[in-house]
Structure formats: structure tokens, C-alpha cells
Amino acid sequence: MPSRRGGASGYRGVRLRPNGGYYSEIRSGDLRLSLGTYETAHEAARAFDAAAWRLGRPRRQMNFQDVYTLQQALDVAPPPRLNSAQDRAEHTARQRRLLVAQEDERVMAEWRRRHPEDVAYEQDYRARRREEDTRRRREERLDRRRRKALASAQADIVAAGGRSFFTENDDRWLDIWLSTSDDTNDDDDGDDWSDWE
């Protein structure tokens, strides 16, 4: 049968914990009785129902209506999840990192409030760096285009039987060699440029 939903977790007596587990508890008079932490909300709700059976609660106060005896409730209720020392250490480390990050954000907000001139300087510095990077990338692109056009023109001259005006030590010679070497095959040994005309 479907469960009786209630609360943020969807079940009576079950809460989601920050570490991802589901905590189950039940009240008995003025006392809160902890039933443990479970992997899923469904398991925590089953534990709640087993405790409700033990305390003699009516079935309408339970999460599931498909259990008719205390023994059935105990059979379907899982054991609580064990939190090992490693789990606690990891949780403590996460909490510490979170607190450090929150304190860092608070200090940075206070620093920005007290020193607006530093914030303005930092923003100006970043804007200048962006402009310099953009200008440098634009100049590199233009230089590559210019070298490619020059190498292409020189390759056309060489292909037409002319003579290159670059020496082999010139960087532009490498551009010409790379642009023309892609047109040759390894098995074309001995071919000269006159064969390509």
C-alpha cells in the first residue's frame, strides 16, 4: 500500500541530513527517541513504523499501512546506517572547508567595502590586460595572414618557374616549403617543378 506522506522528506518522523543520510526519530511523551540515520527516506520511514508499533501507536500515525503486526514491522525495518570514524572525519573536513570559504567571502566583501579604490584599480588592471591580450592576438593573426599570403605568392612564383627571393635561413622560406611540400608525394622522386605546369 502507498505510504502516508508528511513533512519535507515525504515521511512522518524522517529528516534529510546535510551529509545525505535520512535521520529518523519518534516522540514518546516529552522525549525524542533517535532511531538512527539511513541511506534512503523509505528505510528511515520503515524504522519509524517499527518504533511506532513498539510504542503502541495506532496505524493511522504510521507511514505505511501494509504492516499488520509488530513482527512484520521489525522484519521490514533496516538496521541504522553506521557512521564510521572516516565518515565523521570527512564530514568535519568538509565543514571546515565550508567555514573557511564563507569566512574568505566575508573578508573579501569587507575589504571591497573599505577599499573601493583597490577594487577600481583591480578592475582597471583586468580591463587593460584584456585589451592587451586582444591586441596581441589580433597582431598575431594579422602576422600569420601576412606570412601566409607572402608565402603563397612566393610559391606561385616558384611554381611558375621563377626563382625565390628568400634565402634558406629566412623564416618565410619555411612557410613556402610547408605550403608547397603538401602537394608532393613520396613516390614522385626526381620530379621537378616543370612537371607541375
Residues of the chain with pLDDT under 70: 1-8, 79-84, 158, 162-197
What integer pLDDT is reported at residue 50 of this predicted model?
86
SS3 34: strand
**Residue spans per domain, the chain:** 14-76, 85-141
Q: Does domain 14-76 have CATH number 3.30.730.10?
A: yes
What integer pLDDT is reported at residue 8 of this predicted model?
63
What integer pLDDT is reported at residue 66 of this predicted model?
79
Report the alpha-carbon distance of residue 80 to residue 48 in Å, rounded: 11
What integer pLDDT is reported at residue 134 of this predicted model?
95
Report the alpha-carbon distance of residue 87 to residue 55 in Å, rounded: 32
Distance of CA 149 to the CA centre of its chain: 43
